[in-house]
Amino acid sequence: MARYNPKSVEPKWRDRWAADDVFRTVEDADKPKYYVLEMFPYPSGRIHIGHVRNYAMGDVIARYKRARGFSVLHPMGWDAFGMPAENAAMQTGRHPAELTYENIDEMRGQLKRMGLSIDWSRELATCDPDYYRHQQKLFLDFWKAGLVERRESAVNWDPVDQTVLANEQVIDGKGWRSGAVVERRKLSQWFFRITDMAEDLLAALDDGRLDGWPDNVRLMQRNWIGKSKGLTMRFAFAEDAAAPNGAKEVEIYTTRPDTLFGASFIVLAPDHPITQSYAERDPALQAFITECDKIGTSEEALEKAEKLGYELPLKAVHPFKEDCTLPVVVANFVLMQYGAGAIFGCPAGDQRDLDFARKYDLDVIPVVLPPDADPATFAIEDEAYVGPGTLFNSEFLNGLSVEDGIAAAISKIEEMGAGEATTNYRLRDWGVSRQRYWGCPIPIIHCDTCGVVPVPDDQLPVELPEVAASEFQTPGNPLDRAEAWKRVICPKCGREARRETDTLDTFVDSSWYFARFAAGVEDAPTDPAKADYWLPVDQYIGGVEHAILHLLYARFFTRAMKKTGHLSVDEPFANLFTQGMVVHETYKDENGEWVLPEDVELKDGAHIHAATGSAITVGPIEKMSKSKRNVVAPEEIAETYGADAARWFMLSDSPPERDVEWTDAGVAGAWKLINRIWETVEGAAGGLKDGDPDPSTSPDDATLSLRRATHAAIDGVTSDIEGFRFNKAIARLYEFLNLLRKSDGADIAAQLEALSALTRLIAPFTPHLAEECWALLTEEGRGLVCDAPWPVADPALLKQDLITLPVQVNGKRRSEITAAIDLDPKEIETLALDEPDVKKFVDGKSIKKVIVVPGRIVNIVVA
């Protein structure tokens, strides 16, 4: 008996699939459609184990749905623009395009070797002008529809390299290459008005349109959009004073107007117009603002930064207490983008305000009394009280609940004409300008006479100019220096003008690729008829790290494409599955450089560099990422054990939604299994070929129990695949195989039925092995297992007539009874009380009650 040899078997079947073109998408009117999509990869050059996990899951679904008779669309492409290629160009002196296409070729080969059932005829790369020309068209259509606007926005600026930095490139407030302290700088940039859609993006999370999404992702998106109802109100300045910009009052936004009587200061954002007007004549304030600008642009950095304040020579009048004036300060924890860019501080009810008040010695007036607290003694120490309670120290609000207090305060302020109830969103508009080369050019022309002019449709695409590879070794955006490309004739007035040199955020590229796969046509982004057929994506699968940004942007884009006539759905992904990440330890060498796991060796309990023998520091377990180099190449596994073993192993053990830490141990188990299946099928097939496949007779026990096991396996594996429980499907297959290997007594028909079912059940997981087995089991010319129908479980064989019930005494399991499945509870009780092991614990005590849960358990409660 020949040992199974994936090296020859796997390529053989892949060639056959390719020759027969079996995975080409067919729009078959007689079949229901199914669009399964995994998040497309960034072409880093090598697939990593996380990709295998992602694409193996998608392939199980795709192959399963094919077998269930669906017309399946399962495409693949490349999220090919982005910083890594530009960084690599900086290091290697090679052009990003050259590097990227080389990487794509490499990775395409690796993915193909995984045996995925992909329709490669639909492959796309976002860096291809054939893709991004349509994206430019979409940008212009969005512009015409009023969904795009231009405005000032801050970026991280490296003053030494004279370049814009991504947040990832800012480490502890310093530029990653220059080490210079990063500043915030304002640039005129392009925005998509995603906030216009906030209400519908939010509503769809709860109205049933996204029932196929995990709850936690919907919750994260809901919190991200952050709808809040509150009060926008104005505080007049004391003594009729005015700020240098002429303002005589300041507008603030609050979600807690009930705490107005606890207000002890007003806070303005550093970039608030009033702040700015003071800064013009106050160098100390200017210095303070510069200091705030060094924090960077990420919300995390802003929130974690030490709370700093600067008092303005200004007092605000409390609207309810005319003799009470509040200091007006500038502080780094208030954001101009949110609400009005100004708040009132209520230290008793907000931890940040409290920290700030303690630091600057401002009043702390408690206004919410926790239930059961004594108003005479209740005081705020180090912790603000944010819970429910009764308002006090608050004049007309005294005695009201927080909720009622909010309503009462809003009506009072509205009555006074000092403000109005408003709805606010935490969500900000989507800034899409990037000062980089390797992205989709923004199809805009700047004319001194006409201003901003869109590039006419017939001049699309605006292609990236040829740029010498050496250009990437100079900091800054090469497009800025591409003078010949920048110079252009204004389409409106015919005078000399300049091209926009910013490119689009790569999130734009990935916000509509699913539509391009499904309905791409040469002369338009989509063909609406095709889009209607395929969209929405029936099953989208990808990493949970994309739970907010990518998925929210894709949802926005779909709405925008609908508004501009490119699509007619408004939600792109009917069902979403967020897989956990593959994580791994991180390693650094003595110079603090990241080291690949494959270069690390464990020697005498210490980690060393395999090549140099130098010491390695082991860092935290983190998601595998190119930047930290903690990636494992699946190629080696596939090389040694075959693609099937790699796929099987990635899907066994860990539940798909959970993070999995990669370890080398265990792959061999998958290899063992593949051999056991092969051996079982090959061994049996030889002796079984003459059997008549009529599995309806032979009632002897071995046959019946094998048939039951077969149908239980079909039923279980089917529901596990439907429910994305691949690890459990695999456990069931192991159980089934173990039983099958011990069922020599069963008749030939039942064995053949079992082998045939096993082969079809493993086909989505280990497709090459399944084809090889199928060829042995079936007559010549009966086709491929990837075209075979999914087995169907016979309900009659799933029924059980006996059941084992555990018997507990006072909640502890003492015995068990076996009874007919529909036995009367009274009789079960009698049976249970008769058990010797039960009597031992019951005798001599009084039975207080007996709980019989049919089909589950018996519990006897004794005193």
Binding residues among 134-163 for RNA as defined by CB under 7 A:
155-156
Residue with tokens 């305060």: 409
Between 156 and 703, whose beta carbon lies closer to RNA?
Answer: 156
Query: Which residues within the stretch 314-373 sit at the binding site for RNA (CB under 7 A)?
Result: 351-352
Q: Which of residues 21-60 bind RNA (CB under 7 A)?
A: 42
Q: Which of 284, 379, 665, 863 binds RNA (CB under 7 A)?
A: 665
Q: How far is the CB of 161 from RNA (least distance, A)?
A: 13
Fill in the per-residue mask, 237 to 256: x = in contact with RNA (CB under 7 A), - = not in contact: --------------------
Cα(115)–Cα(751) distance, rounded to whole angstroms? 29
Q: Which of 30, 152, 215, 374 binds RNA (CB under 7 A)?
A: 215
DSSP state for residue 758 in the 8-state scheme: H
Where are the extended beta strands (E) located within 500-603? Answer: 503-504, 539-543, 576-579, 582-588, 600-603
Going by their DSSP bridges, the two strands 451-454 and 419-424 should be labelled as unpaired
Closest approach, Cβ 829 to RNA, in A, equals: 13
Indicate the residue type of 729: A
Helices in 294-425 by DSSP H: which ranges? 299-304, 351-360, 402-416
Contact flag: residue 223 with RNA (CB under 7 A): yes
- Name the residue nearer to RNA (CB basis): 430 or 774: 430
Position 467 contacts RNA (CB under 7 A): no
What single-letter DSSP state applies at residue 757?
H
> Which one among 298, 423, 612, 697 touches RNA, defined by CB under 7 A?
298
Residue 725 binds to RNA (criterion: CB under 7 A): yes
Site for RNA in 776-805 (CB under 7 A): 804
User: Which residues ranging from 83 to 102 are in contact with RNA (CB under 7 A)?
Assistant: 83-84
Q: How far is the CB of 742 from RNA (least distance, A)?
A: 7
- Contact between 166 and RNA by CB under 7 A: the answer reads yes
At 95, which amino acid appears?
H
| Angle between helical axes of 6-20 and 767-777 (0-180°, round to 10) | 80
**How many residues in the shown chain lie near RNA by CB under 7 A?**
100
Nearest to RNA of 220, 521 (CB atom): 220
Which range of residues in 64-72, 114-122, 252-260, 850-858 is near RNA by CB under 7 A?
850-858
Residues in 624-643 at the binding interface with RNA, rule: CB under 7 A: 625, 627
Q: Is the peptide bond before 6 cis (omega within 30 degrees of 0)?
A: no
| Neighbour-count burial for 442-464, b at 16+ CB within 10 Å, e otherwise | bbbbbbeeeeebbbeeeebbbeb
Contact with RNA (CB under 7 A) among 659, 682, 794, 829 = 659
Report, in angstroms and rounded to the nearest whole number, the Rg of the chain calculated over CA atoms: 33
Q: Kindly tell me the burial class for residue 862, based on how many C-beta atoms sit within 10 Å of its own C-beta (0-12, 13-18, 19 or more).
A: middle
The residue among 665 and 796 lying less far from RNA, judged by its C-beta, is 665
Binder of RNA out of 167, 393, 401, 422 (CB under 7 A): 167
**Contact by Cβ (8 Å): 229, 255:** yes
CB of 831 to RNA, least distance (A): 15
Q: Which of 31, 412, 498, 550 binds RNA (CB under 7 A)?
A: 550
- Specify the stretch interacting with RNA by CB under 7 A; choose among 104-112, 606-614, 822-830, 845-853: 845-853
The answer to whether 565 and 531 are in contact (CB under 8 A) is no
3-state secondary structure of 775: helix
* Distance (Å, whole) CA 357 – CA 359: 5
Out of 203, 242, 529, 668, name the contact with RNA by CB under 7 A.
668
The nearest distance, CB 711 to RNA, in angstroms, is: 15
At residue 603's C-alpha, the angle toward residues 602 and 609, to 5°, is 65
- Closest to RNA by CB, 131 or 278: 131
Give me the least distance between CB of 861 and RNA, in Å please: 5
Give the number of other Cβ atoms within 10 Å of residue 333's Cβ.
21
Using CB under 7 A as the binding rule, whether residue 297 contacts RNA is answered as yes
90 close to 472: Cβ distance less than 8 angstroms: yes
Question: Which residue lies nearer to RNA by CB, 530 or 607?
Answer: 607
Rounded to an integer, what distance in angstroms lies between the CA atom of residue 548 and that of residue 179? 31
| Identity of the amino acid at 830 | T
Among 532, 728, 778, 797, binds RNA (CB under 7 A): 728
| Contacting residue, 117, 189, 424, 703, with RNA by CB under 7 A | 189
* 483: contact with RNA by CB under 7 A: no
Stretch that binds RNA, among 102-110, 451-459, 604-612, 648-656 (CB under 7 A): 648-656
Please report whether residue 709 would count as binding RNA according to CB under 7 A: no
* Residue 622 near RNA by CB under 7 A: yes
Is the backbone of residue 113 left (phi > 0), alpha (psi -120 to 50) or beta?
alpha
Compose the 490-529 pattern: x for residues touching RNA by CB under 7 A, - for all others.
---------------xxx--x-------------------
| Helices and strands (H and E) in the chain: how many | 27, 37
Non-local CB neighbours of 841 within 8 Å, separated by 6+ positions = 809, 810, 814, 862
By the 8 A CB rule, do 649 and 667 touch? Answer: yes
Subset of residues 369 to 408 that bind RNA, contact rule: CB under 7 A: none
Nearer to RNA by C-beta: 375 or 666? 666
Q: Which stretch binds RNA (CB under 7 A): 12-20, 94-102, 605-613, 809-817?
A: 809-817
For RNA, the binding residue among 2, 8, 284, 304 (CB under 7 A) is 304
When binding is defined by CB under 7 A, the residue of 159, 313, 666, 687 that contacts RNA is 666
Q: Taking the complex as a whole, how short is the minimal distance between the CB of residue 324 and RNA, in angstroms?
A: 29
C-beta closer to RNA: residue 423 or 738: 738
Write out the two tokens for 643: 């693609």
Judged by CB under 7 A, which of 653, 682, 794, 829 binds RNA? 653
Cβ contact 768:9 at 8 Å: yes
d(CA 831, CA 178) in angstroms, rounded, equals 80
Q: Is 185 in the site for RNA (CB under 7 A)?
A: no
570 binds RNA (CB under 7 A): no
Closest to 685 in 3D by CA, of 762, 786, 774, 771? 774
Cβ at position 657, least distance to RNA in Å: 8
Q: Does 620 bind RNA (CB under 7 A)?
A: yes
Minimum distance from CB of 702 to RNA (Å)? 16
Tell me how far, at minimum, the Cβ of 126 lies from RNA, in Å: 9
- Smallest gap from Cβ 183 to RNA, in A, equals 14
DSSP 787: G
Residues 577-616 interacting with RNA (rule: CB under 7 A)? 581, 583
Position 724 contacts RNA (CB under 7 A): no
Contacts 24+ apart (CB under 8 A), 326-329: 326/235, 326/263, 326/264, 326/265, 326/266, 327/265, 327/266, 327/362, 328/237, 328/250, 328/265, 328/266, 328/267, 328/268, 329/265, 329/266, 329/267, 329/268, 329/360
